[in-house]
Amino acid sequence: MNFSNCQSSVWLCSSTMADEANEVTEFLKAPNDKKDAKRELPTSDTQCGFGIFKGPRIQRWATEHMFMVLFGIAGCFIGMAFSYFNGTITTLEKRYKIPTKTSGIITVGNDISTTLSCAFLGYYAGRGHRPKYVALGLLILAIFCLLMASPHFIYGAGEDAIKLTHEYLNTSVFNATQEDPTLCQSRLPDCVQTASQWAPIILLFVAQFISGIGCSLFYTLGLSYMDDNSTKSKSPAMLSWSAFLRMLGPAFGYSLASVCLRFYIDPQLKPLISNEDSRWLGAWWLGWIILTIIMLISAFFLYLFPKELPSAQARRLKENGVDTGVHSVTELSLADMMQSVKRLANNKVYVYNNIASILYFFGYTPYWIFTPKYIETQYQQSASTATMATGTVALAFSAAGVLLSGYVISKYKPSARAMAAWNGIVDISTVIGILCYVLIGCADSDKATSMSPIIPDSCTASCHCEYVHYAPICSPDNVTYISACHAGCNSKLKDELGRLIYTGCKCIGTLDIANVTEYQYARQGPCPVDCYKQFLIFLGVMCLLKFIGASGRTANLLLALRCVSSEDKSFALGLGNVIASIVSFIPSPILFGWILDSYCVVWGKTCGSRGNCWLYDTKSLRYTINLLAAAFIFAGSFWNIGVWYHAKDLQIFDTEPEEAKHKKNSQTFELNELSPSEVK
């Protein structure tokens, strides 16, 4: 964080403390009847802490600023967890032989539970002790992290990973002339029987499913609690700063994934390949242990906050004169909830803003989930490099966009129409940027991954390579083959550096030379592909889009909070999440995962099943994904016009107090009564 941001933080903290001091001073000057009314109030609703964690030292931290900081940090950890999953998703696919469509289904598990629980939790829990429910959400998320790591401890590193280690090589006898199933065979080999992989898939889905309940409790109740316990003039800054803290989470999550993936899946073993090899399996499980611990610590601190902050209660007493309760007691029933639904359905700003957001989410979801995978396939970067680029450089621009927009909104207080117009500009800019993605391709990558299916009666077909695992080799003419079997190699040996060299490769013979047999060999590993320049251009465009997109988050959230009544606020956020999950977050990963699988050219294969994809038709994939995503976001931009039109009377900031208005009008009247000379 730079120095100017630190200054803004200090200003926010000092202004909050000054407001609380002014409220205390005004209370001391108030009439005795108001003092007596406040003395008679129960203190349990504003009491901070529980059990032995109570007292004046803890009570002084029960401020809106402290809640904003802790809520933002906890949100940072949640974002860290989900981005960590996105950063390790390709490793999970390789380890458990999961197609991308299946990993998309795993991803939407949290959205399914959000759909089933968010509206009810926002309605019922929103009337109770919200900080305790927020802490419960974090506890559920800690269980989610623990479940995500559990498949590794149950099933281990896997046979494919163990075979690529020195320890496995030392226990087996290496013989260049013995029959090897990875080489060209004269007969069809028996298919490899593998254990069922459905158990870890189900376990990962269950973990994602319960995470949706935790997120519903955390975000729906936490945001409404923060908005209700702060003044409207401070809400943009508070929401912006908490969003900034939350946005640091993906940066830390991708960075953690990058660090963990540099270690081999079993750190006790010494791998034969480097982490640049596409067969490398990193220690994807390691970060989940760290995330479980920090989730539990965050839950403890947020559990300490009271039902209502003392400063918020003091403001409410000042406005109402005497207290009528922390919240007006309303009957919680299904009929009352349906009345809330009816009110929200007739709210055009709420409806149009949600439709615009849903279409934007539908188009942008594949970039949130599959960006590391996109970088790996399109620009041939390692999993560690892809996650590091996505999580550090790109998300730094997102954080800058949130901070800048929060500062602009707090300083200049734009109207609701201005905010809606900016949301439309953000959508159009995103569409233009995604269309640029189509043009940023790598010819070398497209050539290396555009392998056509095996043609019957071809040289490769005679080697019976159907069940040979993906193990790329590079020929002297710089052509990558799926495996030594696909190149027709019949033997192997080691060079002076200990690298495998495959010889007798009868399918390698495209060189226009006299004695082609001397060049029918290949070395282990894929041929080098240089896509780094294109990768940097893509990264630059992505950073710009992250900055522009993040600049509209605070405005969009303020429109969602201000267009509904206070009693419907938690429920409106919950219902919006339910609709977004059903229409956007659930179908979008499945659709784009299916598209990714449809452009696969090399599948891992076992008996009667198809595993993960090793190579994609990158050019066709680039065009399809980006054009389809741009179409959805472009359609959503039109709905912002409706938001702009109907938001003309929407009040975003506090109105001027009546006493101040009266005083100002009196001064203006007295000034008008003066003669010009008296004015001078």
Map residue 422 onto helix, strand or coil: helix
Q: What are the pLDDT digits (tens) for 262-283?
A: 899 888 888 877 777 777 888 8
Distance from C-alpha of 82 to C-alpha of 211, rounded to nearest angstrom: 10
Map residue 605 onto helix, strand or coil: strand
Count CB neighbours of 164 within 10 A. 19
Whether residue 659 has pLDDT greater than 70: no
Distance from C-alpha of 451 to C-alpha of 507, rounded to nearest angstrom: 15
Map residue 72 onto helix, strand or coil: helix
Reported in sequence order, the residue ranges of 264-330 that DSSP labels E, i.e. its strands, are none
Q: What are the pLDDT digits (tens) for 420-433?
A: 889 889 999 999 99
Whether residue 352 has pLDDT greater than 50: yes
Compare 375 and 336 and report the one with higher pLDDT: 375
Whether residue 588 has pLDDT greater than 60: yes
Q: What are the pLDDT digits (tens) for 22-38?
A: 333 343 344 444 444 44
Phi-psi group of 549: left, alpha or beta (phi > 0 → left; psi -120 to 50 → alpha; rest → beta): alpha
The two tokens of residue 99 are 């197609």
**Average pLDDT of 474-486?**
81
Reported in sequence order, the residue ranges of 389-434 that DSSP labels E, i.e. its strands, are none
Residue 601: what are its φ and ψ, rounded to 5°?
-110, -15
C-alpha 394: how far from its chain's center? Answer: 13
> What band does 171 get if pLDDT is binned at 50, 70 and 90?
low
DSSP string for residues in 569-581: HHHHHHHHHHHHI
pLDDT at residue 251 in the model: 79
Q: What are the pLDDT digits (tens) for 4-60?
A: 333 333 222 333 333 333 333 343 344 444 444 444 344 566 777 777 777 777 787
The two tokens of residue 242 are 């908490």
**Average pLDDT of 518-533?**
80
CB 255 within 8 A of CB 391: yes
Compare 21 and 75 and report the one with higher pLDDT: 75
Q: What are the pLDDT digits (tens) for 114-141?
A: 777 766 676 667 667 888 888 999 999 9
> What band does 672 get if pLDDT is binned at 50, 70 and 90?
very low
CATH 1.20.1250.20 domain range(s) in the chain = 8-170+197-323+350-442+531-646
The two tokens of residue 218 are 């955390």
Residue 490: what are its φ and ψ, rounded to 5°?
-115, 0
> What band does 517 get if pLDDT is binned at 50, 70 and 90?
low
**Average pLDDT of 320-329?**
48
Task: Look up residue 271 and give its DSSP letter.
Answer: B
**Closest by alpha carbon to 280, among 183, 165, 192?**
165
**Average pLDDT of 139-163?**
89
CB 291 within 8 A of CB 147: no
pTM summary value: 0.68
Bridge partner list, 50: 53
pLDDT at residue 288 in the model: 95
Residue 601 to residues 122, 443, 478, 596, 604, Cα–Cα distance (Å): 45, 17, 19, 11, 10
Compare 347 and 243 and report the one with higher pLDDT: 347
> What rounded mean pLDDT belongs to the chain?
76
Burial class (CB within 10 angstroms; exposed 0-12, middle 13-18, buried 19+) of 674: exposed
Q: Which architecture characterizes domain 8-170+197-323+350-442+531-646 according to CATH?
A: Up-down Bundle (1.20)
Whether residue 603 has pLDDT greater than 70: yes
Q: What are the pLDDT digits (tens) for 191-213?
A: 555 545 688 889 999 999 999 88
Whether residue 594 has pLDDT greater than 60: yes
**Average pLDDT of 160-186?**
65
pLDDT at residue 655 in the model: 55
pLDDT at residue 585 in the model: 84
**Average pLDDT of 481-486?**
82
Whether residue 330 has pLDDT greater than 90: no
CB 23 within 8 A of CB 311: yes
Work out the angle between the directed axes of helices 221-228 and 64-96 (0-180°, nearest 10).
160
Which helix H or strand E contains 602, and what residues bound it? strand 600-606
Distance from C-alpha of 595 to C-alpha of 618, rounded to nearest angstrom: 12
pLDDT at residue 451 in the model: 47
Count CB neighbours of 274 within 10 A. 9
* CA R_g for the chain: 30
Whether residue 511 has pLDDT greater than 50: no
Whether residue 382 has pLDDT greater than 60: yes
**Average pLDDT of 583-612?**
81
- CB-based contacts of 592: which residues, under 8 Å, 6+ apart? 104, 365, 366, 369, 370, 625, 628, 629
**Average pLDDT of 592-618?**
79
The two tokens of residue 653 are 């900031």
DSSP string for residues in 316-367: HHHHHSS---SS------HHHHHHHHHHHHT-HHHHHHHHHHHHHHHHHHHH
**Average pLDDT of 493-513?**
72
> What band does 675 get if pLDDT is binned at 50, 70 and 90?
very low
Task: Give me the percent of the chain exceeding a pLDDT of 90.
Answer: 15
Whether residue 327 has pLDDT greater than 80: no
CB 83 within 8 A of CB 257: yes
**Average pLDDT of 369-376?**
86
Q: Mean pLDDT: which of 164-168, 376-380, 669-673 is highest?
A: 376-380
**Average pLDDT of 158-167?**
80
The two tokens of residue 673 are 């009564």
Compare 369 and 181 and report the one with higher pLDDT: 369
Compare 528 and 350 and report the one with higher pLDDT: 350
C-alpha 395: how far from its chain's center? Answer: 11
The two tokens of residue 223 are 């945001």
Compare 143 and 597 and report the one with higher pLDDT: 143
Compare 27 and 291 and report the one with higher pLDDT: 291
Q: Which of the residue ranges 3-17, 207-221, 288-302, 645-659 would you say has the lowest mean pLDDT? A: 3-17
